[in-house]
Chain A
Amino acid sequence: MRALIIDDSRAIRMILGKTLRGIGFEVFEAGNGCEALERLQEIGRADLALVDWNMPEMNGYDFVCSVRSKAEHADMRVMMVTTEAEITQMIKALEAGANEYIIKPFSKEAVVEKIQILGLIP
């Protein structure tokens, strides 16, 4: 399975990447929403995208809106991983098509449990 980690923090990409590789994902990275759309173009498809909200060029919310407007990524599960912790923001992301949401700071266990909730791992 393929996961795309989209975060402008290299440290967060490393932490998430290590966790995802540990549960069998092939991991790709992008530093913002625009890069993520390019990366998706290159690799064709991903099963999971972990997306930060606040990033330069294209933020995570706009990325979600963009991929949800395209039929080819309809099956991709999208999880926001962000410091945005207001309920209104969460609802906005879920209504735009995000499937799950993790608030920073998070533990490795929380990431794995959320991926289980998404049905990608047993």
Chain B
Amino acid sequence: MAISAESFAYLSKMIYENSAIVVGAGKEYLVESRLRPLVAQNKFSSIEDYVRQLKATPFSTLHKEVIEAMTTNETSFFRDIHPFEAIKEHVLPEMIKSRASTRQLNIWSGACSSGQEPYSLAIMIREHFPMLSNWKINIIATDLSEDVLNIARKGCYRPLDINRGLPAALMVKYFEKQGVEWQVKREIRGMVDFRQMNLSGHWPSLPSMDIVLMRNVLIYFDQETKRGILGKIRRVLKPDGPLFLGSAETTFNLDDSFKRVVMGKAAAYRAST
């Protein structure tokens, strides 16, 4: 089911114009593999047939499905463990002291996909910080895709997903079996507020954040959009709050008002004042 150059160019432009996500040359294989299930699901005979329909109709659910398919990422619990260790060993112990008077923490998991990252944070807090049990902990988790947010809200994972990155001791403590699936217990689900949000579009009002995780998402955007997003993060992040990016991402040459701070094996960014 190879894709023609013309169809690829159309999809690349359509995805960019509606999400600012760059799908450049060489990513034909990715478009093909992500669109194949949609072609079958919508009963088209080929990708070309699908693209013809997309071109012939104004922006609709069909177009949204393509964008969502391109932005759904692989994820696992405690993915790239180092930022979680940094939050556990450095960030939260400091914040427990500095926020002792307000007893409130706002944590933002951006591009949370099917929920593994915010649930990992909630589990870590519950497991290692019993002293926070009477604090107001808001974990706000956002994603572009309503489909993945619905999966995230249910918190049900197949064995293939539950195996990924989650220590067995936490699995038996914070999950319960629902048939063959594993569901995050209600007490943990209740700690996370899932919201739809397009990072490259208009931002809804967000509380002032103590910690922001925006990992492995900037890579999808062009330089200008990355700068715009980092600028907006700077405005919602408290001055001493860390921003965690993916291990291959940086603010360097994009927004030099962020300064890199090493925390154990992880690096975070703080807006310098």
Contact = CB atoms under 8 A, between A and B. Distances in A.
Interface stretch (B18-26, B28-36, B159-167): B159-167
A90 B162 CA distance: 14
A109 B76 contact: yes
B169 interface: yes
Interface string A35-71: 0000000000000000000000000000000000000
A114 B163 contact: yes
B175 to A, nearest CB: 8
A103 B159 contact: yes
Contacts of A110: 76, 160, 163-165
A114 to B, nearest CB: 7
A58 to B, nearest CB: 22
B65 interface: no
A100 B76 CA distance: 16
A1 to B, nearest CB: 19
Contacts of B76: 109-110, 113
A101 B160 contact: no
A107 B165 CA distance: 11
27 contacts: A85-B177, A87-B172, A87-B175, A87-B176, A90-B168, A90-B171, A90-B172, A94-B168, A100-B167, A100-B168, A101-B171, A103-B162, A105-B160, A106-B159, A106-B160, A106-B163, A107-B164, A109-B76, A109-B164, A110-B76, A110-B163, A110-B165, A113-B76, A113-B164, A113-B165, A114-B163, A117-B165
Closest 3 CB pairs of A and B: A101-B168, A110-B163, A103-B159
Interface of B: 76, 81, 159-160, 162-165, 167-169, 171-172, 175-177, 180
